[in-house]
Structure 1
């Protein structure tokens, strides 16, 4: 239904047509954005599937390496080297994907007694293998968390973009078109009324002119 408060003028009609074009352009841009976000989401989902499969293998491998190290070197010795290892901090940055801030996680290792050189010289091979396995596992976990968090944000933005595009397509554009049609109909009615009025005035003027001519002829006789 057209807005009854809208002014049925040509200027208003021109403005409405501009708004319709702008809304249609906005709708197309939102569709493009949503498609790009979906492509990015699907790419991440594909990568994540492979990363999760590898993660399961790395968990099994790390547990196996740790079990071997404890059997060969003893649990106390494994724990002593564990205390010599430094802790790790996860850093957070962000990148922009179609207006969505995607997290980028990094790893910052603190200085520790158990350096690469020290490990190469003094750490038994089974324990060193276990350290490498858990280091890879930790890095893989960080990558999986990064992907999952990114996918959640992309999914939220995809849903938001879909709702906005639907609002433009099914609410805004039909409303503007309805208002435009209403103004067009009112202008057509005004044109018809004006044409009828002008036709009536012209007919009356012709009639009056004919009457004057007849009076002039009678006076001449």
Structure 2
């Protein structure tokens, strides 16, 4: 413990109670933060596994979607101009919500389809089946993209929160708790030393009181002996001097 800490903290029973309550609070906070870090790490690993799975699935879907687009273009011709002309407003929209994980809000993105399908007549003359299949595959790809964006956003958020939480856990475990324990040890040592000094002082006082009582008793006995001699002398002086023995 440093000299500044020793000066700032006066060793007393109240200080001991205060430091013990601080130690208990620090240990409780460390336990809660440790549980929070474990819960976040569990969710972090789940999201990481889901990201890997989604990326692999995304590669397969995009491969099928690209091949389906080539089939639809071969069957129905170039239908991109018709699709662009029918664009009025977005049919697929992204909505967000919050998911609470151990006090951390994670953004969750979801695809929502609104309105009617404006491309249902595309490829009606020829290649309708290939165009519909292509549309379904690209719709699935968009859904996977939104899901992947949600997972990666949650992944980054969790990564930052886990780093902060682990720093707090390490600070409490390796800095705050040892410092409080050293302070408690210092206060305990000072109080023990004070008790020894108090015991020694009381012992010395008792010895001094005993010496004083012994001196008073000796003085009392001396006075009693002196009084008896005086009384005997007075008795002798009061006797008749003509009395013959």
TM over 0.5: yes
Shift of residue 175, structure 1, vs aligned partner: 1.2
Matched, 1:92 2:96: yes
Mind listing any 5+ residue stretches in structure 1 that lack a counterpart?
A: none
Q: Indicate the residue corresponding to 1:36 in structure 2.
A: 39
Distance 1:50 1:39, change over 3 A: same
Q: CA RMSD in A?
A: 2.0
Q: Please, which of 166, 187, 192 is the counterpart of residue 188 of structure 1?
A: 192
Shift of residue 110, structure 1, vs aligned partner: 4.8
Q: State the TM-score, normalized to the length of structure 1.
A: 0.92
**Equivalent runs, 1:61-72 vs 2, <5 Å:** 61-72=64-75
Distance 1:35 1:113, change over 3 A: closer
Matched, 1:101 2:97: no
Tell me how far apart the structure 1 counterparts of residues 84 and 141 of structure 2 sit (CA, whole Å): 16
Distance 1:188 1:111, change over 3 A: same
Which 10-residue stretch deviates more, 105-114 or 42-51?
A: 105-114
Higher RCO structure, 1 or 2 (CA under 8 Å, sep 6+): 1
8 Å CA contact 2:123–2:131 kept in 1: the answer is no
In the alignment of these two chains, the number of paired residues is 219
Which 10-residue stretch deviates more, 26-35 or 85-94?
A: 85-94
Distance 1:172 1:159, change over 3 A: same
Shift of residue 111, structure 1, vs aligned partner: 3.4
Tell me how far apart the structure 2 counterparts of residues 83 and 38 of structure 1 sit (CA, whole Å): 48
8 Å CA contact 1:70–1:78 kept in 2: the answer is no
Q: State the TM-score, normalized to the length of structure 2.
A: 0.83
Shift of residue 218, structure 1, vs aligned partner: 2.3
- Moved segments of 4+, more than 3 Å: 108-113, 118-123
What are the superposed Cα offsets for residues 28-64 of structure 1, whole Å, 9 maximum, x if unpaired?
1111010011111111111111111100001101100
8 Å CA contact 1:78–1:127 kept in 2: the answer is no
Mind listing any 5+ residue stretches in structure 2 that lack a counterpart?
A: 226-245
Tell me how far apart the structure 2 counterparts of residues 14 and 61 of structure 1 sit (CA, whole Å): 70
Tell me how far apart the structure 2 counterparts of residues 83 and 93 of structure 1 sit (CA, whole Å): 33
